[in-house]
Amino acid sequence: MNGHLFRIRGLVQGVGFRPYVWRLANELGLIGWVRNDGAGVTVAVDGEKVPEFMARLANEAPRLARIDAIETEPTAVAGAGFVILESVAGNVSTAIGPDAAICPDCIADICDPANRRWRYAFTTCTHCGPRYTVSRRIPYDRVQTSLAAFPLCSLCQTEYTAPVDRRFHAETTCCPDCGPQLRLLDVAGEALAGDPLGETLRRLQDGKIVAIKGLGGFHLACDAHNVKAVAELRQRKQREEKPFAVMALNAASLAAYACVGEAESRLLCSPAAPVVLCPKMQDELPGIAPGLAWLGVMLPATPLHLLLWHEAAGRPVGTGWLSQVSDLLLVMTSANPHGEPLVIGNDEAFERLAGIADAFLVHDRDIVIRCDDSVLRASAQGPAFIRRARGYVPVPIPLANGGPTVLALGGYLKNAVCVLKGREAFLSQHIGGLDNAAAIGFLEETVAHLLAILGVRPDLIAHDLHPDFPSTQLALRLAGELGIPALAVAHHHAHIAAICAEHALNEPIVGLAVDGVGLGPDGGLWGGELLRVAGAQCERLGHLLPLRLPGGERAAREPWRMAVSALHGAGLGYRIGAWLKDTYPERDAGPLLTMLARDLRCPPTSSLGRWFDAAAGILGLRAEARYEGQAAMELEGLAAGYAPVPALAGGWRIQHGVLDLSPLVPALLDCADAAYGAALFHATLAAGLAEWVLVAVDGKKGAKIAVGGGCAMNAVLMSALRAHFESAGLVLLEARQAPPNDGGLALGQGWVARRMFKEM
C-alpha cells in the first residue's frame, strides 16, 4: 500500500484532464492509471516522484478545468507504466462544462495553410469550443451532443484516441472532411456563390445586416462604423435606444472608443469571452449606446467569428496579425425579434428574422439550447455580472450545505432558473422577460434541459410570491405533475438570500434590498427594504418612504410621472407647472395631480428604482424610458462622469425605520446642471442608506451587510456605499457569482426553500 489514490472533484471531465494526468505521470516516471467516474476523475499512482505529482496536479491543470476538491488515500498499484482506463459508470455527479472561447493552439491551426484545419470555422479541442449548448444529456460523450451527426474521419479518430494529442476525447472535435460546414444564404434560403466568410465580410462592409449562427444562437451583425446600417438594424429590430454590443479583434482596436483596462482585458481574453462594459472614450460610435457612459465590447469567441477578422486582414499566415489594430468593428447583438428569445435554428432564423437580416451565415451543427452572451463589469472587487449566460453556465456556485434537490423558477423579468443539487447551485443562462408565449416556452425548455444535463429530479420547487408570474404558474404545474411541494419565497427575501448563498452564510444577516418593484408578503409593492434574514425567516426592519405610481405600471415607464409624484409628495406641487413647462412642455400634469389628490390609480411603492426614475425625471433626462432601467442607467452615467460631490446635508430623514428621501427633491429641482444633480442624488442616497443601515445594526463594528437587487448593479451607488461602510467598520457583501438583479433571484429562492422545507 505504498501508492496513492486521488479522487478529484469539480469540472474535470471533457476538459483534457485525463491526458494531462497521463502526460504528467509519464514525465515523472510513475506507474498507475487514471479514469473518469460518476463523481469526477480517479487517479492511482506510485513511484518516487509522487510528492512532485501531488504538488503539480492542481497547479498545472488544463485551461478549462476547475478542481473543487482532491481526496487522497493509500492504495496498492500494480503493473508497469501509466494508462488511461475506460470510464466507470455510476451516479453521475460531475458537470458538463460551459462553452469556451477558441484557444491559442486552435487559433494557430486555423491560421496555418499547411494545417488541415486552415480557415475551418469549427476547429476545437479539449481546451476550447462548445459544451453546454451542444449537450443533450449526461454523461458528456459525443453521442449525447449535436456532434453525433458527424462521425469522425480516420485522422480525427486517431487524434481522438491518442492520449498525447490535445484532441484526446475532445467530444466536439472535427475537421473539414467530417465536420459541420458553413453556408451563406440569401433571404429566400438559397446559397450565395463564393466563399461564405469572404462574402459575409463583403456584405457587412457594404452596410448589410447579416444573421450569424454562433455558439448559443444567432447574432445580428452590421458595420459599427456605418451609421445608416446601425440605424437600419435598430429600426428593423424595433430596438429604439437599448445599447448594442460591439465586437473587435483586440483591445487595441477599441482604444478610440472604450477604456479597456487590465481587469477588463482579462475578462475579454478569458475562456468565457463575455461582453464587458467599458467606460466610453471621447470618440463616440453613433447609435451604439446612446446616452450611456459605458460601451459593451467583446472579442471573437469562436473560430467562425475570428475568421471574419482573418479575412479582413487578407488571410495572413501565422498569428502575428492578432495583435495588430483592425478597423473592422461589428455590432453583435442577439438575433431575436423584439422581446422574444434568441434564434437558434436555421429554419427558425428564416421565419423569425424575416425582414431583419439581409443574409444568413449558417451551419449544420445544431444548437441544443439557447444561450445568450454573458455581460459583466470589471471592478476593483472583481467581476460583477449584469447577465450570466454563455461561458459561465452551467458552472456551479458552491454552497455551504447540502439538502434536498430544489428547482427554483425565478421571477418575471430577467428570468433565470436554478437547480440546487447537493452542495452546488446550477444557475441557468439568462432567459429574460416572460411577457410572451415564446419566452415562456424558452423557460420550459431551459428547465427540461438543465434537469437533463444534471440528471436530477427535484424534491421541491421554489417560486416567487406573485401568483400571476408565468414562472409561478409553471412551478405549481410541475409540482402537481411530480407530486412535490411548491414553496413561495418573497421577492426581496430571495434577493438577500442569493447573497447569503454565494457567501456561504448561515447566520442571521441584515440585508439592504435596493430594487425595482416586487410583491411583498403584505401584498404591497416593495423595492427599498431593510431586512433581517435568518434562513427561512425574513423580518422587515424598515423601508423607503413610499412614492405613489400615478397610472400604476405606466409610471414605471415614464420618469416624468415619477417626477410629478416625488414633487407632489415633497410638498412642491405649486412648482410643478413651471417646472413642467420648462422641462417637458408637451406633458400635462393636470390629470396626474388630480389622481394624486384623490388617490386614484396611484398605488404606493417603496421601490428605490422608482426614486431613480423620479430623480431622472426631475433633472430632465427623459420623459419616457424606451427600455427597462434606461433612466437610471443614464443617471448613473452622468454621475460617473462628474467629479465627486458631498452628500446634501439634511437630504434625508429616518423615522421609525422609514428612510425618507423627499428632503433631497427641492435641491434636484433647483439643479441647473443635470450631471451635478445626478452626482448629488447618488452621493446623498448612499449617505442616507448607510446611516439607515448603521441605525439598524446599532453601530456594531464588523457587521455584515448584504446588498442586492437591481439597483445594486449601479457602480456609482455601490462604490459610495462601500466607502461609507468601510469608514463605519461594516462589511459589504454583494453579488459576484450571480447578477444582483432578478437574474440571481432563483438562487436565493432555492436557498430559502431548502430551509423552509427543513422546518416543515
The Cα-based distances of 753 to 98, 275, 462, 491 in angstroms read 27, 32, 6, 13
What mean pLDDT do residues 652-676 have?
Answer: 97
Predicted pLDDT of residue 1: 59
> pLDDT band for position 760 (50/70/90)?
confident
92 pLDDT more than 70: no
373 pLDDT more than 90: yes
Q: Hey, how many other C-beta atoms are within 10 angstroms of the C-beta on 649?
A: 9
**Which backbone phi and psi does 599 adopt, to 5 degrees?**
55, 50
* Angle subtended by helix axes 674-696 and 715-728, to nearest 10: 40
Determine the Cα–Cα distance for residues 56 and 477; give it in Å rounded to an integer. 50
Non-local (6+) Cβ contacts of 672 within 8 A are: none
Q: Which residues pair with 756 in a beta bridge?
A: none
Residues 330, 393 within the same domain? no
Residue after which a domain boundary falls, among 35, 50, 84? 84
Q: Where are the alpha helices (DSSP H) in 180-302?
A: 196-205, 227-237, 262-268
- Domain membership flag for residue 703: yes
Residue type, 445: E
Task: Decide: 714 and 639 in contact? Cβ < 8 Å.
Answer: no
More confident residue, 199 or 93: 199
CATH number at residue 55: 3.30.70.100
Determine the Cα–Cα distance for residues 250 and 265; give it in Å rounded to an integer. 9
> pLDDT band for position 95 (50/70/90)?
low
The string of pLDDT tens digits covering residues 392-449 is: 999 999 999 999 999 999 999 999 999 999 999 999 999 999 999 999 999 999 999 9
Determine the Cα–Cα distance for residues 96 and 66; give it in Å rounded to an integer. 12
CATH number at residue 418: 3.30.420.360
Residues 218, 262 within the same domain? yes
Report which DSSP code applies to 624: S
Residues 461, 574 within the same domain? no
- Domain membership flag for residue 25: yes
Instruction: Tell me the chain's radius of gyration from C-alpha atoms.
Output: 27
Q: Hey, how many other C-beta atoms are within 10 angstroms of the C-beta on 576?
A: 18
What mean pLDDT do residues 660-670 have?
Answer: 98
Predicted pLDDT of residue 119: 98
- Domain membership flag for residue 173: no
- Give the domain range for residue 591: 544-734
Non-local (6+) Cβ contacts of 89 within 8 A are: 38
Determine the Cα–Cα distance for residues 420 and 313; give it in Å rounded to an integer. 47
Predicted pLDDT of residue 229: 98
Predicted pLDDT of residue 89: 61
Task: Decide: 608 and 528 in contact? Cβ < 8 Å.
Answer: yes
pTM for the model stands at 0.94
Domain count, the chain: 4
Determine the Cα–Cα distance for residues 412 and 748; give it in Å rounded to an integer. 15
The string of pLDDT tens digits covering residues 264-289 is: 999 999 999 999 999 999 888 999 99
CA dihedral 511, 515, 518, 521 (to 10 degrees): 20
Residues 668, 704 within the same domain? yes
69 pLDDT more than 80: yes
The string of pLDDT tens digits covering residues 138-154 is: 777 899 899 999 999 99
CATH number at residue 569: 3.30.420.40
The Cα-based distances of 125 to 105, 173, 318, 392 in angstroms read 9, 6, 19, 18
Residues 399, 359 within the same domain? no
Task: Decide: 23 and 164 in contact? Cβ < 8 Å.
Answer: yes
Task: Decide: 354 and 189 in contact? Cβ < 8 Å.
Answer: no
Predicted pLDDT of residue 10: 85
Residue after which a domain boundary falls, among 363, 378, 398? 363
What mean pLDDT do residues 229-255 have?
Answer: 95
Predicted pLDDT of residue 38: 74
Residues 403, 345 within the same domain? no
- Domain membership flag for residue 284: yes
> pLDDT band for position 66 (50/70/90)?
confident
Predicted pLDDT of residue 706: 98
Identify the three-state secondary structure at position 617: helix
Task: Decide: 271 and 64 in contact? Cβ < 8 Å.
Answer: yes
- Domain membership flag for residue 480: yes
CATH number at residue 322: 3.90.870.40
Residues 613, 675 within the same domain? yes
Residues 359, 393 within the same domain? no
The string of DSSP codes covering 308-368 is HHHHHTT--SSSGGGGS-----EEEEE--STTSPPP-SHHHHHHHSTTT-SEEEEESSPP-
In the structure grid, which three cell numbers stand for residue 492, read together?
426581496
Determine the Cα–Cα distance for residues 281 and 376; give it in Å rounded to an integer. 18
Identify the three-state secondary structure at position 527: strand
Percentage above 70 pLDDT, the chain: 99
Residue after which a domain boundary falls, among 84, 113, 146? 84
What average pLDDT is seen over the chain? 95
Residues 333, 395 within the same domain? no
Percentage above 90 pLDDT, the chain: 89
Determine the Cα–Cα distance for residues 543 and 682; give it in Å rounded to an integer. 18
Q: Within 13 A of 514's CA, how many CA atoms are on the CB side?
A: 26
Q: Hey, how many other C-beta atoms are within 10 angstroms of the C-beta on 227?
A: 14
Q: Which residue has the cell 474535470?
A: 12
Residue type, 406: V
- Domain membership flag for residue 141: no
Residues 578, 672 within the same domain? yes
Residues 270, 393 within the same domain? no
What mean pLDDT do residues 563-579 have?
Answer: 96
Task: Decide: 210 and 217 in contact? Cβ < 8 Å.
Answer: no
What mean pLDDT do residues 665-685 have?
Answer: 97
- Domain membership flag for residue 696: yes
Residues 353, 419 within the same domain? no
Report which DSSP code applies to 142: G
94 pLDDT more than 60: no
What mean pLDDT do residues 516-533 have?
Answer: 97
Predicted pLDDT of residue 96: 81
Judged on CB neighbours under 10 Å (0-12, 13-18, 19+), 656 is exposed
Determine the Cα–Cα distance for residues 645 and 482; give it in Å rounded to an integer. 56
Cis peptide leading into residue 394 (ω within 30°): yes
> pLDDT band for position 36 (50/70/90)?
confident
Determine the Cα–Cα distance for residues 187 and 171; give it in Å rounded to an integer. 33
Predicted pLDDT of residue 657: 95
424-427 β-sheet, strand order: 397-398, 424-427, 418-421, 406-408, 460-464, 486-489
- Domain membership flag for residue 684: yes
